[in-house]
Structure 1
């Protein structure tokens, strides 16, 4: 059965149920018809025996020879529904009777069976003397003398009617079963067509085409429609999951390549300096001092890079695990950021305003780790100083906007393209994509760390920029609750 198709199994099941139903209906109809005919014959026999038994006589009535007037006797017996009438005395001996001329004695009920009948009007079934058929008989006591009268009718016609009914039911049922089975085959084929479409879609997806979707095969309120909708949702999630995995693998490869390069550069510098010293290439003390200074710079750069990577790893694993939050105000960080910018470039104008450049600085109370937020602001300020020409004005805005505490670092520099703005928070991303940067220069982790720290506090760092219109980095954090 498991090797058969779903269409064949459904068809066999429905055909079996249909066959069982037709058989049951045929049996019930035949049984009811047979019972009806027996009841009808029994009523006729009881009525006839009641009528005959009440005729007052002093002995068995005289019965004429049935062969004398068959044209009168046979229709009369058929009319009352009793082709055979028998009188029995008290000893059970047949003392008279008559029957249709169309019957012979061999086809009548045997006299021994007639003697055993009870004269209470109960209808009984008796076999013919020669076993050729069945009879229905009723006995009543006579009036005026001690005897019984028995009326009997053959069941030949009733049995023939039942046989014809069963034959017609069998033939019509077989034809109906064949027709409905053929109709069911085509109906199931049409009904299962959506499942075949789903199967084809699944096969295409199994071959690697994740863009395939199940077409709208039926109304979403039907089982097939609901299944198609659920499958499309699942397929969309699978496609997105595979795309995310591919993108994650691509980012990981890029990340490992960048990490390898960033680690290799200072390590090669340190190793080259030590090889030069070992080969005697530093004869003067001043040469040794300069080489040690370069080694110290590369080691410092390597240490900072390692610490940044460890911080990002901790933030990825447990964003709030390394925080020590306390109540504070972002205005403190904004004031310190203005002093840091002036120290880095005294010629650079620095303005301290409210969010969006409107008004004066406002309060921005938050519950945060001040040291980590200071690291965020330092990265934002250092980014503005490193990627804008000297003397470019910078605005630092702080206050409350849209129900959140906000600190902005905006510059009037060259700005970024949309593609650069979309990747500026990626790790190791630099807008110029140059790997040849001086020691201590940015490794492309500052903004990634800033965003990770902001999100660990329940906030975020956003960028608004356009080519030629500068850039505005906005740190937003949840406000400190009033209590």
Structure 2
């Protein structure tokens, strides 16, 4: 069952219990008050009747007044006069077709104390003592069916039950709408979560909630969590991109020194009778390229760790450009093309030895793949500027 339905039923249940307690208390109070009101009414009539009888100077006869009230069907009060033995002298009503018969104990109590009350045959009775010089002593009883009080209670009960049903319906509707309003952020949270799961779009957010309660705090916490996840995902994507660049850079940067080492190793293996100078130069190239590889690996590892912070100082150191060109010439010994070099004995420039050598080597390697049979590398120094010219006959 959904939370909204549970909250609605909780509200209806609480309202039902409250209304039931309220209705029970009201009915008990009204039932007591109805009995008291009926007793007051009957007592007033009984007192008046006793006063009237005490002032009479003629005897009462049972048949002198018509019997007009049947307590079985009528709710009207009626009066019955008794002598001191409980015999009926006069009556304006009957119960089951006969005048109301008072128990002897009720008559005795009224004669001794002046008044009494009782429920007799479904009739509420107030009894008063009277004394008349002509008639002697007796009691007068004023009765009314107990249905009166019961009908009042029944009517009130019906009204309260109808009112309770209407109140429960209203409470249910109110609880439904109020719970829906209170749970709206949770519904939006579920919808947003489902949409994020379906689309992977972490930029979505819950709308701001002005409620300063647990639901508002939950919405704010959820948005904060989404922001954190989005940031972490962005950082992860940047890390993956950096790793891809690292692999690409490593593949590119390590290819050239490996090619040079393989070329010089092939030269040494294929030319065992090469001159000592050529062998020394090849060995030096292998050592230089190994050092270069070490430097590249250290730089790439630093880049992978994210701490490769350079200020460009390595690109502004003195480099012998003539030596760079001659090292490329030696690396190209095993290529299909013949590399000719024209360069001054020494040509000092500010730069990075490895990057300059890599640049020249790329041009020579491209000429080997797509050019002719000869590649010339010329270093021209003029008016403080140095130019490297790579040409092929293809």
TM over 0.5: yes
1:69 pairs with one of 65, 71, 85: 65
Q: Does 1:174 align with 2:93?
A: no
Using the alignment, how far apart are the partners of 1:383 and 1:141 within structure 2?
A: 132
**Aligned residue-pair number:** 312
2:93/2:99 contact within 8 Å kept: no
Displacement after TM superposition at 1:63 (Å):
7.6
Q: CA deviation at 1:246?
A: 1.1
Q: CA shift at 1:252, angstroms?
A: 2.0
**Alpha-carbon offset, residue 51 of structure 1:** 8.4
Name structure 1 gaps, 5 residues minimum: 75-80, 317-375, 391-434, 440-483
Secondary structure of 2:119's match?
strand
Higher helix share: 2
The match for 2:119 is 126
Whether 2:369 is the aligned partner of 1:438: answer no
- Superimposed CA distance per residue, residues 310-332 of structure 1 (whole angstroms, 9 cap, x where no aligned partner): 7788997xxxxxxxxxxxxxxxx
| Aligned with residue 28 of structure 2, among 31, 56, 69 | 31
User: Matches of 1:43 and 1:125 in 2, distance apart?
Assistant: 14
Cα offsets for 1:416-443 (capped at 9, x unmatched):
xxxxxxxxxxxxxxxxxxx96537xxxx
In the alignment, is the contact (CA less than 8 A) between 1:45 and 1:152 conserved in 2? yes
> How far apart, in 2, do the equivalents of 1:277 and 1:123 lie?
143
Give 1:298's aligned residue.
289
Q: Kindly indicate whether residue 275 of structure 2 is the aligned counterpart of residue 284 of structure 1.
A: yes
Q: 1:252 to 1:307 in 2, by over 3 A?
A: closer
1:45-87 superposed Cα distances (whole Å, 9 cap, x missing partner): 6667788899999xxx99833541349x98xxxxxx9645576
User: Could you tell me the TM-score, scaled by structure 2's length?
Assistant: 0.58
Structure 2 vs 1, CA of residues 307 and 176 (structure 1 numbering), >3 Å: closer, same or farther? Answer: closer
Q: What is the aligned counterpart of 1:215 among 207, 228, 236?
A: 207
Per the normalisation by structure 1, the TM-score is: 0.49
Matches within 5 A, 1:67-466: 67-70=63-66, 83=78, 94-96=86-88, 99-101=91-93, 103-104=95-96, 108=100, 111=103, 114=106, 126=119, 128=121, 133=122, 135-137=123-125, 152-178=143-169, 181-182=172-173, 185=176, 195-207=186-198, 208-216=200-208, 219=210, 221=212, 227-280=218-271, 283-307=274-298, 380=311, 382-383=313-314, 385=316, 437-438=356-357
- The 1:382/1:141 distance shift into structure 2, 3 A limit, reads same
How far residue 238 of structure 1 moved from its aligned partner, in angstroms, is 2.3
**Matching residue of 1:40:** 37
Task: Give the CA deviation at 1:261.
Answer: 4.1
Please state whether the residue corresponding to 2:357 is helix, strand or coil: coil
Q: Any stretches of 5+ residues in structure 2 without a counterpart?
A: 70-75, 322-353, 359-394
Over aligned residue pairs, what C-alpha RMSD do you find?
5.0
Q: Say if 1:100 and 1:262 are closer, same or farther in 2 by CA, change over 3 A.
A: farther
Cα distance change on mapping 1:191 and 1:307 into 2, 3 Å: closer
Larger radius of gyration: 2
